[in-house]
Amino acid sequence: MKGLNEIGIYKRIGLKLTIVVSFTAVIIIGVYSYFNIKSQNDVLLSEVERHVNQLSETVKNSTRYSMLFNERDQIQETIMTIGKDPTIYDVRILNKEGMIIYSRKQDEIGQMLDKKAESCYACHVENKPLEKLPMKDRTRIFRLHPDSTRIMGIVNPIYNEKSCWQSECHAHSKEATVLGVLDVSISLQAIDQQLKDNQIRVFILAIVSVIAIGLIIGLFVKKWIDKPVKELVNATNEVALGNLNYAITDLGNDELGYLAKSFNKMISRLDETRLQLVQSDKMASLGRLAAGVAHEINNPLTGVLTYSSFLLKRTKDNPQMQEDLNVIVRETIRSREIVKGLLDFARQSTPKKHQVDINDVIKRAISVVNNQLKYSRINLSTELNEQIPKVIADANQIQQVCLNLLLNAIDAIGTEGGSIDIKTNLTSLPPKGNTQIKSAVCLKNHNLIYKEFKIGGLPSIQLKIKSNGVEGFMNLDPVYGNDRHFFGINLSKNSSISLNCPTCDISLIDKNEKCPECGGPIYKITIPNQGYLTGCASFNDNWQRWEFIDRGGDRQFVEIKIKDSGCGIPQENIPKLFEPFFSTKGQKGTGLGLAIVWRIIDNHNGTIDVESEVGKGTIFSIKLPLV
Amino acid sequence: MKEEFDILIIDDEQVVIDSIKRICDINNYKVDFALDAETALLKINGNNFRIIISDIMMPGMDGFQFLNELRNKNIDTPVVITSGYSTIENAVRSLYSGALDFIPKPFSFDEIISIIKRCIKYSELTNPSAKNSSSIIYVTCPAKYYRLGYSCWVKELNDGSVNIGATDIFIKTLENIQNIEFLENDTMINQAEPIVKLIAEDGTINQLYSAVSGRIIESNQKILSDITLLEKDPYFAGWLYRIIPGQLELEMSMLTPCSSDR
């Protein structure tokens, strides 16, 4: 599979997202800037226009008297003075014929202007003189040549008035309308510079925004997408390599976080399914093995048993020999039972139960290993409570359990010597947390026990669950009072939940009763011949009640404790301890001993627990129910 | 002159043959043996064996095929099946396929000898040429009864429980039953699992295999006070246990209806 690093950089979501967002930002900033600069430009130009107009009026007014008195030098002087302002490009007055008669630039005086010149164009656009020029048409922006700065010019026509043609100089006749034009032009260099600066600022802003957006998006994409995706890819690779114990660490509550959670859930389901597959596979090969072993061993055993039992008949007058032969016969019959047990284990058949004195069974098991104990220099101490009542059990199977555990203890101690303590006692445990729910049905008598999904190694109770319109399966913990339930769908708090039979869809919610702890709805499941199991159906608390079992009070167990001073079991091996073919003894063991022990104890409705510390020893405690 | 044999042993393990032979010798039965079923069939053609003891797993033809072959050839010599792979399935299948009895390996002296004696007796009872066959009064297995092989019958009662007991022919193969040992109530039993020990006059302990599995709820205590009930009325007053069957429908397929006997 391709690693994440092999994805081309241009194919990555982060970069794509950055590009798309940056592009959008550039468009937004561009459009905004365009209109912004345009309006700025308009405002500035209108301001300049107003200013130029004002200036033009000022020139016109300040030269008025000089004109009336025909003081030409005075006019030129005024124009020169006003024209000193650096922003003013030119101030000039043209006469009717188009000749420049006054100008800031003295070398211009006397020049004739064409009707198409910038100063004349506004009025003479249609090749005939205009007599009244509207205010807005008086200004114009032009360049002298393409590379020069922009210039704003304003033409201010000087109209004939009474004082003009009545003036002493008689320069103008009464009929003339326009006497000349005052042409003021101002350089727009400063404004253009300002506009250009603005454009550069906007451009820099755009670039900085794009970079900032890119960095911020990149950073969060890395944090929110890259890292979780990398973790997910890593997890799928781990799973692909066969590590089904891999769990993704919490990736938060976003979509990828949920993906990670459902991934974890999927992997744990996969792991359970695989374990079950492995288990059934092992069981199948164990069955074949058992068949072969049984056939091969039972034939020689037939010889041993028939000849020894035959000899037993023939030596009735020899008590010593009778005793020895009895041992042979007895132990051969036990071998027969062991082989049968192996077959029974492979086929998971029910034990043959009778009233059994556990202490007797233990004593018999000890007698079998007595020689080995002496040889391994193991000090065996027993503390058997003679008061314990008899248990309904298969004596041979329980003896085998004790024998297997004793042999394991001897192996664990090795040749250095040590001690084994065996204790029996009567204990009682509350029903909650210690009672397995072995059968459960809905109101229409459909089985709810689901063997394919195990919780704590026991078949769970499978129900159909509906919440917020989502439908799925949930599995109730099969141990009364425990709440290791599994939910196939996501439950949100305080949402209404319906529980139904997976077969017939009948509701399992009991509407007549409420959870005494949270007041929520409760479910009610029929336990055949053993009343009903009720529990909180909102799963906000783990309230459960099974009156039939509670009424019986604490359950009594006979407890067998076998403690050794051996090498101990590493913590990581304890969960695998009872699996078939798990062995730490290498070639010496078959890996079946403890699997058979577990199967036998389970068939007796009992429990087996292990406590162990490496280097100090191990304690196996078996609890067999009295009833 | 050709030697007449009583018993034919078929097993691919010499030690098993030797063991059975040794036991038979003591009881003065003449024994022949075969290491596979094909050879055995040849030997049966030339001999009139009283009983046959056969293994299941053998090279070539296995024990079940051998039983089929006998039935096809209309040979009604009683067969005892023995097996090292002594599962309930094998036991049930053997009895259903026509074996008179089933004995798991390894067996003790007492176990094999009681079965051999019983089968010899059976062959005497059913063989018309036997000298005292005319004196036997048959009590036939009633209709609506079912049986596992030839030994155990089962009858459904109205309340869902069943009665089981021993067939007349099984009882007649035992010489004067002296004592009976029942299992305790509430014991779980499997199909083809031994349920009673019948101790005969000659000291042999005879096991009866259950026709069905289930939980024992009652055993017939009247038999303890009057053991002849078994012989006098094996199908009614001589019932052995009342049982709540575990999987009657499934197990029925391995039972033979008594109505087919007529």
- Inside any domain, residue B68: yes
Instruction: Say whether both B118 and B32 belong to one domain.
Output: yes
Contacts of A342 in chain B (CB under 8 A): none
Instruction: Say whether both B159 and B117 belong to one domain.
Output: no
Question: In this structure, what is the dihedral angle of CA atoms A454, A540, A260, A489, given to the nearest 10 degrees?
Answer: 60
- Work out how many CB contacts closer than 8 A connect A with B: 85
Q: Tokens 């073919």 belong to which residue?
A: A581
- Inside any domain, residue B67: yes
- Quick check: pTM over 0.80? no
Of B96, B5, B113, B3, give the one whose Cα is nearest residue B51.
B5
Instruction: Give the residue-averaged pLDDT of B81-88.
Output: 85
Taking CB atoms and an 8 Å limit, are B106 and A306 in contact across chains?
yes
CA–CA separation, B80 and B103 (whole Å): 7
Residue A103 CB neighbours (<10 A): 21
In order of B169, B171, B229, B240, the CA distances from B232 in angstroms are 12, 10, 5, 14
Residue A457's pLDDT is 65
- Inside any domain, residue B226: yes
Residue A586's pLDDT is 59
Lowest mean pLDDT among A13-27, B26-40, B125-139, B141-155: B125-139
A66 confidence band (pLDDT: 50, 70, 90)? confident
Taking CB atoms and an 8 Å limit, are B105 and A302 in contact across chains?
yes
Instruction: Say whether both B101 and B180 belong to one domain.
Output: no
How many distinct structural domains can be found in chain B?
2
CA distance B15 to chain A (A): 6
Lowest mean pLDDT among A182-196, A318-332, B39-53, B92-106: A182-196
A349 confidence band (pLDDT: 50, 70, 90)? very low
Return the exposure string of B117-126: e unless at least 16 CB atoms fall within 10 Å of the residue's CB, then b: bbbbbbbbbb
Residue partners of A67: CB distance under 8 A and separation at least 6: A75, A158, A164
Contacts of B22 in chain A (CB under 8 A): 306-307, 310
- Give the range of the structural domain holding residue B52, as residue numbers without chain letter: 7-126
pLDDT tens-digit readout, B58-78: 888 999 999 999 999 988 899
Contacts of A296 in chain B (CB under 8 A): 84
Instruction: Say whether both B102 and B168 belong to one domain.
Output: no
Residue A456 CB neighbours (<10 A): 11
Contacts of A355 in chain B (CB under 8 A): 184
Give the mean pLDDT of chain B. 86
Taking CB atoms and an 8 Å limit, are B107 and A295 in contact across chains?
no
A→B contacts (Cβ < 8 Å), by residue, are 291, 294-307, 309-310, 312-313, 329, 332-333, 336, 340, 343, 347, 349-350, 352-355
Residue B2's pLDDT is 56
B55 confidence band (pLDDT: 50, 70, 90)? very high
Contacts of A303 in chain B (CB under 8 A): 15-16, 18-19, 106
Instruction: Say whether both B121 and B154 belong to one domain.
Output: no
CA–CA separation, B106 and A313 (whole Å): 17
CATH number, domain of B190, equals: 2.40.50.100
* Nearest residue in B to A311, CA atom: B109
CA–CA separation, A173 and A209 (whole Å): 68
Q: Which residue has the higher pLDDT, A351 or A61?
A: A61
Q: Hey, what are A97's tokens?
A: 């014929």
Instruction: Say whether both B43 and B77 belong to one domain.
Output: yes
Instruction: Say whether both B25 and B78 belong to one domain.
Output: yes
Q: How far apart are the first and last CA of chain A?
A: 58
Instruction: Say whether both B250 and B158 belong to one domain.
Output: yes
- Inside any domain, residue B192: yes
Q: Which residue has the higher pLDDT, A353 or A105?
A: A105
Of A318, A278, A311, A240, give the one whose Cα is nearest residue A595.
A278
Instruction: Say whether both B162 and B232 belong to one domain.
Output: yes
Are the C-beta atoms of A426 and A558 separated by less than 8 Å? yes
pLDDT tens-digit readout, A496-508: 788 888 888 888 8
Residue B137's pLDDT is 56
Hey, what domains does chain A have and what are their CATH numbers? 70-194 (3.30.450.20), 250-349 (1.10.287.130), 355-429+554-627 (3.30.565.10), 449-551 (no CATH)
Taking CB atoms and an 8 Å limit, are B106 and A312 in contact across chains?
no
Instruction: Say whether both B88 and B176 belong to one domain.
Output: no
Return the exposure string of B161-180: e unless at least 16 CB atoms fall within 10 Å of the residue's CB, then b: bbbbbbbbbbbbbbeebeeb
CA–CA separation, B207 and B181 (whole Å): 10
Taking CB atoms and an 8 Å limit, are B85 and A306 in contact across chains?
no
CATH number, domain of B48, equals: 3.40.50.2300
- Inside any domain, residue B136: no
- Inside any domain, residue B197: yes
Could you give the residue ranges of the DSSP H alpha helices within A132-188?
A: 162-165
Q: Hey, what are A441's tokens?
A: 């049905």
- Inside any domain, residue B91: yes
Residue partners of A164: CB distance under 8 A and separation at least 6: A67, A68, A171, A172, A179
Could you give the residue ranges of the DSSP H alpha helices within A504-564?
A: 547-551
* Nearest residue in B to A312, CA atom: B109
Length of chain B, please?
Answer: 262
- How many Cα neighbours within 13 Å face the side chain of A66? 15
Question: In this structure, what is the dihedral angle of CA atoms A276, A277, A282, A284, given to the nearest 10 degrees?
Answer: 110
The β-bridge relationship of strands B79-83 and B51-55 is parallel
Strand order in the sheet with B205-209: B177-181, B194-200, B205-209
Length of chain A, please?
Answer: 627
CA–CA separation, A331 and A308 (whole Å): 11
Burial of A87 (0-12, 13-18, 19+ CB in 10 A): middle
Q: Hey, what are A380's tokens?
A: 């065996």
Could you give the residue ranges of the DSSP H alpha helices within A122-188?
A: 162-165
B149 confidence band (pLDDT: 50, 70, 90)? confident
CA–CA separation, B157 and B176 (whole Å): 30
Instruction: Give the residue-averaged pLDDT of A473-488.
Output: 84
Percentage of chain B beyond pLDDT 90 is 33
Cis peptide upstream of residue B106 (ω within 30 degrees of 0): yes
- Predicted confidence (pLDDT) at residue A357 exceeds the cutoff of 70: yes
A352 confidence band (pLDDT: 50, 70, 90)? low
pLDDT tens-digit readout, A89-139: 888 888 877 888 888 888 888 888 776 776 676 667 655 566 666 766 777
ipTM of the complex: 0.83
Instruction: Say whether both B122 and B195 belong to one domain.
Output: no
pLDDT tens-digit readout, A442-469: 888 888 888 777 776 677 888 888 887 7
CA–CA separation, A433 and A50 (whole Å): 95
pLDDT tens-digit readout, A547-602: 888 887 788 889 999 999 988 888 888 777 877 667 676 555 556 678 778 878 87
Contacts of A354 in chain B (CB under 8 A): 184, 187
- Inside any domain, residue B140: no
Residue A1's pLDDT is 47
Instruction: Say whether both B96 and B185 belong to one domain.
Output: no
Residue A127's pLDDT is 58
Taking CB atoms and an 8 Å limit, are A294 and B18 in contact across chains?
no
Strand order in the sheet with B31-34: B31-34, B7-10, B51-55, B79-83, B101-104
Q: Hey, what are A258's tokens?
A: 């949920």
Are the C-beta atoms of A351 and A604 separated by less than 8 Å? yes
Strand order in the sheet with B152-156: B188-189, B214-219, B241-245, B162-166, B152-156, B146-148, B256-257
Of A609, A617, A605, A626, give the one whose Cα is nearest residue A397.
A605
Q: Which of A96-105, A323-332, B139-148, B241-250 has the highest mean pLDDT?
A: A323-332
